[in-house]
Structure 1
Amino acid sequence: MKDERAELRQVLAQITSIDPVVAIEVSAMLNGLSSIEARDAALAATAQTVATQPSKIALIGVHGGLTPRGSWYGSSLSGIAASAMRAADDADVSGIIADFDSPGGTVSGTAEAAAAFAYAASKKPVVAVVNTLAASAAYWIASQASELVISPSGDVGSIGAMIMHQDISGYLDQIGLKMTIIRSEQSPMKNEAHPFAPLSDDAKAFLQGRANSAGADFIRAVAAGRKVSQAKVKDEFGQGRVFGAKEALARGMADRVATLDSVIAGMVAGVPGRATSRRRSAFAFE
C-alpha cells in the first residue's frame, strides 16, 4: 500500500506540472486524500515545478543614435550586445523583448550587436518591437530576432551603408582661408577624405568600396535573420527606403503589428508559473 501511495503521488506531481486544478481532482479520486490534502500536494508540486523553470523576461532598450560606446543621445552597441548575451545565457530568463526606437548608427559595433541578438534567438524567444523606429543599423540588429513586431505607426528599413563627405573649399576661398595638409611620406593616403578640397577619384573609389562592403554585410545579415534570400532583401526591402507598418508587412520586413505593451503582456502570460507564483519579478531590465 505504501508503494502504491508513493507511485500515485508521483503521478500527481506529473499532472500538477500540467494542470494543478486537475491534479486536485485526480488526487482526491485516486489517492484517497481529503480535498485539503490534495490541494496542498498540488500546490507543493506546482511550487517545485515553478522553482526549476525560468521566470524572468529581459527587456533591452535600443534607442537613439547607436555608437560603439553610447552617448547622451543614444544607446551603446557594445552594451546592447552584452545585454543580449547575458540574457541569452541566463537560465532564469525565458524570453527577451527589445524595444527599438532608433534611426541607426555606426557600422562599427553593429555587426557584433546583431550577432549577439542572433545568438540569443538561437536559445530562446527574442521579440524585437519597433516602437516606433528601427532604421539602418537598428533594423540590422532587429532583423536577427525570432520575431519582428512593428507598432501601428512604426517605420523600418533604410538598409544600406552611407559615407558622407563635405567639401568646404569654396567657402574657404570666399573668406580667404587656405588649408595646407602635410603628411608623412610613408602615408600619402592619410586623411584623404578631408573637407578642405574635393575628393580625388582614388579616394572616392576607395570609400565607395567600403560602403559597398558594409552594405553587402547588411543585406547578408538581414537575409539570414529574416530567413529570405539576399536577392529578396536587395530587390524588395526598399534599397535604402523606410516603410510604415502596412508596407513592411507586405514586403516581409516585419511579422505583425502590435504595441510594446501588448507584446510584454503576451510574453508575461506565457512565462511558466506566472499565474501561480510570486516568487520573483517578471522582468530583468538590461
Structure 2
Amino acid sequence: RVLFCALGKGMGAGNLAVPQQAVQLDADGMQLAVTDYMTGGPRPVKSYQVKNGIAILPVSGTLVHKMGTLRPYSGMTGYDGLTARLKSAVNDPDVRGILLDIDSPGGQAAGAFDCADMIYRLREQKPVWALCNDMACSAAMLLAAACTRRLVTQTAKIGSIGVMMAHTSYEKQLAQEGVDITLIYSGQHKVDGNSIQALPTGVRADFQRRIDEARRMFVDKVALYTGLSSEAVMNTEAAVYDGQAGIDIGLADQLINAADAVDVMVSALNDSVTQENTMTTKNLTVAEAVSQENQRVMGILNCQEAKGREKLAQMLAGQQGMS
C-alpha cells in the first residue's frame, strides 16, 4: 500500500482504492501513509530470514575463505559472509536464536577454524543451533560442532572429521609430449609440491606431517566444542554417519524433520526461559527465608529482656521457631 501511495503521488493520482481491504485513501491519506512509514526511519535489510524470533542462516555448497558475499552464491558459502551474518543476527533485537541450515560437504581449511571459533564465542550471547539438512561433513562438521546444539534429519550425513590434500604430477605426461620445464629457484623448499615433478619422498613426508597436525587440530576443536573426548573424536577415523548413527556416536543431539527445526528451537528456548524464571523465584524465596531468619535471631539477641541474660538469649536464638 505504501509503495502504491508513493508511486501514485508521483504520478499525480488523487486517490488509492484497495477493494479487497475496503481501503479508500484520498491524496492526504496517501501522503499520511507514506509519512507514517518513513517516520520509522530506513528499514535495515537483513541478510537472513527471521521466523518466530529465529534467524535462519543457510550454509550450503563448498565452504571457502574470503568469498566476499554475505549469502551462499554459485554453490559456495564464504566463511567471511557467514561470520558477518552471525554478528548481525546476534546484535539484532528481533532475534532470539540463530539456526545454521547446513547442507555442505565441507571446504577449505583456511578460514574454517576462525569461523568455528567465532560461532563458539557468539553462542555465549545467543543460542546458535545447527541443522544438518542434509549434510554437514568435514569443514561443515567443524562449524556444526561449534554450535550450541546439533539437529539432524533421518537421511543426514554428518562427520568426516579428517583432512586431505591431493598432489598431481604431470612429469610423465610432459616427458611423453617432449616438453621439458626447468624450475629455477632459490630456497630449498620453494618448489615443494610443484606439479611438473613427481613428489619426492621427503616432501611427501612433510606434507603428511602437516596433514596429521591439521587433523589433530580439527579433532581437538570438535572435542572442545562438543564435550566429547579427543580420543572418541579421533576414533571416528573421519567416518561419515547417517542420521541416528550421528547421534549415537555423539556428533549430534536430536533427530527431527527439517520442517520442524524452527519450532523445536523456539520450544526449547521457551522452556529455558521458564526454567530460569522458576530458579529465580526459588532463589528469591530462599533469600527471603534467610532474611526472615536473620531478623528473628537479631530480634532475640537485641530485645530488652536479653540484657544481662545474653547466654540464654543466644540459646533461644539457636532454636528454630523461637522469637
TM-score, normalised relative to structure 1: 0.70
Instruction: Write out per-residue CA displacement over residues 167-189 of structure 1, whole angstroms, 9 at most, x where no aligned residue.
Output: 22122222222221111x2x231
Query: Please, what is the CA RMSD of the aligned residues?
Result: 1.8
Paired position in structure 2 for 1:247: 245
Instruction: Write out per-residue CA displacement over residues 144-175 of structure 1, whole angstroms, 9 at most, x where no aligned residue.
Output: 11111111111011111112111221222222
Return the letter of the residue paired with 1:131. N
CA distance in 1 between partners of 2:191 and 2:74 (Å):
28
Instruction: Write out per-residue CA displacement over residues 246-269 of structure 1, whole angstroms, 9 at most, x where no aligned residue.
Output: 211111111111133201123345
CA distance in 2 between partners of 1:269 and 1:223 (Å):
27
CA distance in 2 between partners of 1:270 and 1:246 (Å):
20
CA distance in 1 between partners of 2:248 and 2:81 (Å):
32
Is the Cα contact below 8 Å between 1:131 and 1:151 reproduced in 2?
yes
Instruction: Write out per-residue CA displacement over residues 209-265 of structure 1, whole angstroms, 9 at most, x where no aligned residue.
Output: 221221111101100111111111111xx2112110121111111111113320112
CA distance in 2 between partners of 1:143 and 1:83 (Å):
18
Q: Residue 179 of structure 1 aligns to a residue in which SS?
A: coil
Task: Kindly indicate whether residue 168 of structure 2 is the aligned counterpart of residue 166 of structure 1.
Answer: yes
Q: Residue 74 of structure 2 aligns to a residue in which SS?
A: coil
User: CA 1:191/1:86 → structure 2, altered by over 3 Å: closer, same or farther?
Assistant: farther
Kindly report which structure 2 residues correspond to 1:221-240, keeping only aligned pairs within 5 A, or say none.
Answer: 221-235=221-235, 238-240=236-238
Q: Residue 190 of structure 1 aligns to a residue in which SS?
A: coil
Paired position in structure 2 for 1:23: none
Shift of 1:78: 1.1
Shift of 1:271: 6.9
Shift of 1:135: 0.6
Return the letter of the residue paired with 1:234. M
Structure 2, unpaired ranges of 5+: 1-51, 68-72, 271-323
Is the Cα contact below 8 Å between 1:98 and 1:128 reproduced in 2?
yes
Is the Cα contact below 8 Å between 1:85 and 1:119 reproduced in 2?
no
Is the Cα contact below 8 Å between 1:88 and 1:119 reproduced in 2?
no
Paired position in structure 2 for 1:109: 111
User: CA 1:219/1:270 → structure 2, altered by over 3 Å: closer, same or farther?
Assistant: closer
TM-score, normalised relative to structure 2: 0.63
Paired position in structure 2 for 1:60: 57
Kindly report which structure 2 residues correspond to 1:36-75, keeping only aligned pairs within 5 A, or say none.
Answer: 56-70=53-67, 72-75=74-77
Return the letter of the residue paired with 1:252. G
Instruction: Write out per-residue CA displacement over residues 58-100 of structure 1, whole angstroms, 9 at most, x where no aligned residue.
Output: 1111110111123622100111122223323434421000000
Structure 1, unpaired ranges of 5+: 1-54, 273-286
Q: Residue 195 of structure 1 aligns to a residue in which SS?
A: coil
CA distance in 2 between partners of 1:270 and 1:214 (Å):
35
Task: Kindly indicate whether residue 119 of structure 2 is the aligned counterpart of residue 121 of structure 1.
Answer: no
CA distance in 1 between partners of 2:157 and 2:87 (Å):
26
Instruction: Write out per-residue CA displacement over residues 42-71 of structure 1, whole angstroms, 9 at most, x where no aligned residue.
Output: xxxxxxxxxxxxx73211111101111236
CA distance in 2 between partners of 1:240 and 1:103 (Å):
13
Which is higher, the Rg of structure 1 or of structure 2? 2
User: CA 1:269/1:226 → structure 2, altered by over 3 Å: closer, same or farther?
Assistant: closer
Paired position in structure 1 for 2:136: 134
Paired position in structure 2 for 1:146: 148
Count of equivalent residues: 214
Task: Tell me the percent identity.
Answer: 28
CA distance in 2 between partners of 1:81 and 1:214 (Å):
22
Shift of 1:103: 0.6
Structure of greater relative contact order (alpha carbons < 8 Å, 6+ residues apart): 1
